[in-house]
Amino acid sequence: MENVFKFADELGPLKVIHVYEPSIDLKGILVIDNVATGPSIGGVRLAPDVSTKECFRLARAMTLKNAAAELPHGGGKAVLFGDPKMPKSDKERLIRAFACSLREAEQYIFAPDMGTDEESMAWVKDEIGRVVGLPRELGGIPLDEIGATGWGISHVVDVALRFCDFELAGARIVVQGFGAVGYHAARFLTDKGAVLVGAADSHGTIHRPGGLNVETLSTLKQQGKSVVDYPEGERLERESIIDIPCDIWIPAARPDVIREDNVQRLKTKLVIEGANIPATLEAEKYLHAHGVLCVPDFIANAGGVICAAMEYQGANESLVFQAIEEKLRRNTEAVLKEAKNQQKLPREAAVDLASRRVRKTMGLRRWSLF
């Protein structure tokens, strides 16, 4: 048995639950990292290559994200082993069973992540009720459909550009992953004058220096095709997305895509981490040393969970965009100012800000974690 206490530090994790039901090939993990601020919220990720370590790192990112955004929620995350493109009936059975198996894990509120969506959350609601990110028909605010995280990213970019030497009009952007985060980030940024010159999905990369039409790419994805089916431009290998020269590079897919062994290939001025844990610390240090500004994940991509938390409190959809804008602009400014003034990595400044808030709420409780 893996020694799960190797992840333990002053913040958590509070609980690590492994779920196994061989009759339907259900293998899942829930990490509840910290609930000092309230019940944890974090998405359920369905992917073939997840792990306990990935789940813990994602749960910790949620603890920091929810604290930075001043939400009354702690951090948790769940992962399910499986192909997100499995037949829908299999996926429904898996998610319903996973929800049932975690019925008693009341300190965790289900939400969507890679491989799961509003419909998956509707199945969770039907089974156990403790869920956010629901379809509108069930009273939810469909955070992926409205582009909550992409909206937040567009404001993070706007603030980060005050710390850079270029403007958004005409800036070349590259997006790795063309799902809920990648598509909406590209949509909001190109609406403000940026040019999307590269995009990747699980099948490959498309590169067109003259610009890619975001809605054409979105239509291809809705038809079950790939970004590489775009009618113009150069088709490249999936990993070649990192080589495309640009001004803003936005990871919006898997973890650890920017590492010590490939960070030198990035030719950009600004990295906005749309994905969770997309870069290793060493890679972020390299970027910092080479003058590339990098806004960390739990600051940049908090739009989705702000929306989710507001849904949980019964808020109206029209208030969500304003709340995301305000919180993300304030945090981005605070983190980048502190990083600049103290000559720190933006991540160091962000972790200081968020963990200070978590420690304060822990100090207000009899037991710090539970």
Binding residues for NAD(+), by number, are 149
Residue positions counted in the chain: 370
The residue from 74, 75, 112, 204 that contacts ligand AKG (CB under 6 A) is 112
144 binds ligand NDP (CB under 6 A): yes
CB of 314 to ligand NDP, least distance (A): 20
Q: Is 276 in the site for ligand NDP (CB under 6 A)?
A: yes
Q: Report the number of secondary-structure helices (H) and strands (E) in the chain.
A: 12, 12
305 near ligand AKG (CB under 6 A): yes
> Site map for ligand NDP, 165-204, x if CB under 6 A?
-----------xxxxxxx-----------------xxxx-
Task: Check: CB of residue 247 under 8 Å from CB of residue 166.
Answer: yes
Stretch that binds ligand NDP, among 30-38, 107-115, 320-328, 333-341 (CB under 6 A): 107-115
Catalytic residue among 15, 77, 91, 327: 77
Distance CA 113, CA 99 (A): 15
Number of CB atoms found within 10 A of residue 45's CB: 25
Q: How far is the CB of 339 from ligand AKG (least distance, A)?
A: 22
CA–CA separation, 328 and 303 (whole Å): 8
Nearest C-alpha neighbor of 194 from the set 160, 228, 220, 223: 160
For residue 367, with 0-12 CB atoms within 10 Å meaning exposed, 13-18 middle and 19 or more buried, which class applies?
exposed
Contact call for residue 115 and ligand NDP (CB under 6 A): yes
Q: What is the DSSP letter of 258?
A: B
Does 42 interact with ligand AKG (rule: CB under 6 A)?
Answer: yes
Residue 196 has which token pair? 């999307």
Whether residue 13 is preceded by a cis peptide bond, meaning omega within 30 degrees of 0, is yes
Binding residues with ligand AKG: total (CB under 6 A)? 14
* 77 catalytically annotated: yes
Distance separating alpha carbons of residues 112 and 144, to the nearest angstrom: 9
How crowded is the C-beta side of 267, counted as CA atoms within 13 Å? 9
Q: Which one of residues 111, 156, 293, 300 is an interface residue with ligand AKG (CB under 6 A)? A: 111
Is 332 near ligand NDP (CB under 6 A)?
Answer: no
Q: Using CB distances below 5 to 8 A depending on partner kind, what does residue 252 bind out of ligand AKG, ligand NDP, none? A: ligand NDP
Q: Please list the active-site residues.
A: 77
Residues that bind ligand AKG (CB under 6 A): 41-43, 65, 111-113, 133, 143, 276, 301, 304-305, 308
